[in-house]
Amino acid sequence: MAYDPRPVEPVIYKRWLDAGVFQPRPDGEPYVIVIPPPNVTDVLHVGHALNNVIQDVLIRFERMRGRAAEWLPGTDHAGIATQNVVEKRLAAEGKTRFDLGRDAFVARTWEYVRKTGSTIIEQLKIIGCSCDWSRQRFTFDPEYAAAVREVFVRLWDEGLIYRGHRVIHWCPHCLTALSDEEAEHHETQGNLYYIRYLLLDGSGSVTVATTRPETMFGDIGLVFNPKDSRYKSLKGKRVKIPLSGVEIPIAVDDAVDQAFGTGMLKITPAHDANDFEIANRVWPKEAKPLIMTEDARMEKSPRVPADLPGLDRFDARKKIVKQLEKEGLLVKVEQHQHAVRRCYRCDTVVEPRLSDQWFVKMQPLAEPVLAEYRRWRTSAIGTSRGSCGGDTGCRYSPAPTAISGPTARIRSSAPRAARACSRIPTCSTHGFRPGCGRSLRSGGRTTRRTCAAFIRATRWSPRRRSCSSGSPAC
């Protein structure tokens, strides 16, 4: 007969809850896991079950080792992602959020969130997760929001958060900026349009290839590679943007790929991240005009021909191509396989867009983490020979924390990976084991040992008595 967990597991789980064993004990070294809060966009799937079981194993293990173990549970409101799910449900009823109006739409979203949020928590309980439910959080809880604000202000005060004017991935449907991860690459069969820009001095024209002809009204110049002999005589000349007649200069930049298209690149700094970089090098003081609205319609602007404003970018593209053909400015159209970014939520083609966004300066935040990682890695490499080098021939694994001294005992309950050899002291100053050739302080004792693996790992020179990895104390 197959095992039926339904009459058995809830009884055991209730016993655990009633005994309060999921709350951290008052003493012991703290061990905390904050759950990556599941989005309330939907209920949990088997991937959540997997990662939560791993967290549960870790937290139960540390709890049994006597640590004050806290597994902090919660759910994430997931902002626009949740809005999208609710909008899709509305669409199935033939409605949009505008039909409902703001208040009714917000109420409808809350109704959905409460349902999925409580289902998620019940699912975690059913698979036996030993979370401390007395501290459960939702990202909209006032205390949580206050903590976020506090961190934001602190980072701002420390100069780690700033506002920057940059080209970002913009979703014209969700009307929001997307991170690199959220703007997914899709291989797409598109077209490469070869467009003729007439030289102002009447000496002819220069041809430029582009996949997005509608962006040409935002061009501030053309550039070619300084090594490209085909265009040498054009440097400093001026051309007219087709259909709009706006005059722009021709210049050079090393970043231009001579082999792509015609080797002459149009620079649209407000709608292309690479062009933004080039423009900052070549014409740092020049304005960077936006020629599309946030919902990717052609902007009403002196740069945009009068019959285009209000048109969707793809409709505008068709119209522009027809017009170019009519005026003899379209040289040819080639099929072109290229990667187009799409919004991961709504699948809309992302429009690169210059805008003011918040950024976090990552380097000063990442450095201490990297330093700790390198220290751990050095220790792991230095001990990975599988033998402590002592006379017992014992095998050991690196421990992430320093052991208390040469006589420290291995806990018999610890798994292999967490064991540290009792014969290998860890330098209490630098955390290296088993030694770095200089006085190695451990547990109050000073030893003097050199580990060959350590020397290899850090390129430490016994002759120079210094470490090329830059560990000053070694």
Which tokens hold the place of 394? 């014992």
Contact (Cβ atoms closer than 8 angstroms) between residue 301 and residue 291: yes
User: Contact between 171 and Zn ion (CB under 5 A)?
Assistant: yes
Q: Using CB under 5 A as the criterion, what x/- string covers residues 131-170 for binding Zn ion? A: ----------------------------------------
Binding Zn ion by CB under 5 A: which of 40, 78, 81, 174? Answer: 174
Kindly state the smallest distance separating residue 413's Cβ from Zn ion, in Å: 50
Options 48-56, 123-131, 346-354, 435-443: segment touching Zn ion (CB under 5 A): 346-354
Strands 238-240 and 445-447, how do they pair? Answer: unpaired
Distances (CA, A) of 389 to 152, 394, 404, 440, 452: 49, 8, 19, 16, 10
CA distance 318 to 23: 63
Least separation in angstroms between CB 98 and Zn ion: 17
Q: Using CB under 5 A, pick the residue from 65, 173, 237, 441 that binds Zn ion.
A: 173
Asked whether position 340 contacts Zn ion by CB under 5 A, the answer is no
Which residues ranging from 348 to 377 are in contact with Zn ion (CB under 5 A)?
Answer: 348
**What is the nearest approach in angstroms of Zn ion to the Cβ of residue 173?**
4
Cβ neighbourhood burial of 144 (10 Å; 0-12, 13-18, 19+): middle
- What CA–CA distances, in Å, run from 112 to 40, 86, 103, 121? 8, 8, 14, 15
Nearer to Zn ion, 228 or 312 (CB): 312
Given the rule CB under 5 A, which of 70-78, 132-140, 337-345, 400-408 is the region that contacts Zn ion? 337-345
Among 343, 399, 420, 457, interactor with Zn ion by CB under 5 A: 343
C-alpha pair distances (Å), 304 with each of 150, 221, 291, 298: 44, 16, 7, 8
Residue 297, burial from CB neighbour count under 10 angstroms (0-12, 13-18, 19+): middle
User: Residue with the closest Cβ to Zn ion?
Assistant: 343
* Interacting residue with Zn ion among 43, 311, 346, 453 (CB under 5 A): 346
Please state the closest distance from residue 112 (CB atom) to Zn ion, in A. 19
The residue count for binding Zn ion (CB under 5 A) is 7
Name which of 348 and 428 has its Cβ closer to Zn ion.
348
Considering the complex, state which of residue 81 and residue 208 has its C-beta at the smaller distance from Zn ion: 81
User: Residue 204 is encoded by which pair of tokens?
Assistant: 């002819």
177 binds Zn ion (CB under 5 A): no
- Cα dist. 257→63, 187, 196, 228, 336 in Å? 59, 21, 19, 10, 17
**Closest by Cα among 77, 80, 78, 76 to 36:** 76
**Residues near Zn ion, by CB under 5 A:** 171, 173-174, 343, 345-346, 348
